[in-house]
Structure 1
Amino acid sequence: MGKVRVGFVGAGGIANVHLQHVSKNEMAEVMAICDIHKETSLQKAKEYGGSAYTNVDGGTEINKASNGSFSSK
C-alpha cells in the first residue's frame, strides 16, 4: 500500500499541528500546501515538503492528493 497523499488548503492556525503530524507519519506525505498568503504557503512547503500554491485551481498536486485538510483562522 502506498502513502496517503495529503493536500492542505489553509496553512495557518490548526494546520500547523496537522502538518507536524502528517510529516512525521511514515504512511503519509504532504503533497501540496495552499494559502492565500504566498509567503505562508512557501514557508510551510519548505518546512514540510510539497508544492506551494495560493489558489487551489492552479495546484496540480492538490488534485493528486488522496486526502485533504481544510483549515481556517
Structure 2
Amino acid sequence: MRQGIVRRVADLALQIEPDRHVVLQWILHTPLPALGGQTTFELACEGQGERVITLLNHVLLQPGNTPPRLPQARAMH
C-alpha cells in the first residue's frame, strides 16, 4: 500500500467533511457500494485507491446547492 494514496484520499475527503475523526472512520470502516462494497482502506491496500479519488472528485464536482457528503453505505430497510 502506498501511503501517498491514503493521504490524497484524506485530503479530498476533508474538503467534503472537515472533521478528521469522521474522515478517518469513513476511510477505515465505511463500505462503498459504488466500489464493490469495500472500504477506502481495503481498496488502497489492493492498489485501487485511485478509484476512491475518482469517486470523491465526482462528489466534489456535483452541481447544486446541497453541500457534498462522503459516500455512505446504503441503509438497510
Q: Same fold (TM over 0.5)?
A: no
TM-score for the superposition, normalised by structure 2: 0.27
After TM superposition, the score normalised by the length of structure 1 is 0.28
- Name the structure with the higher strand share: 1
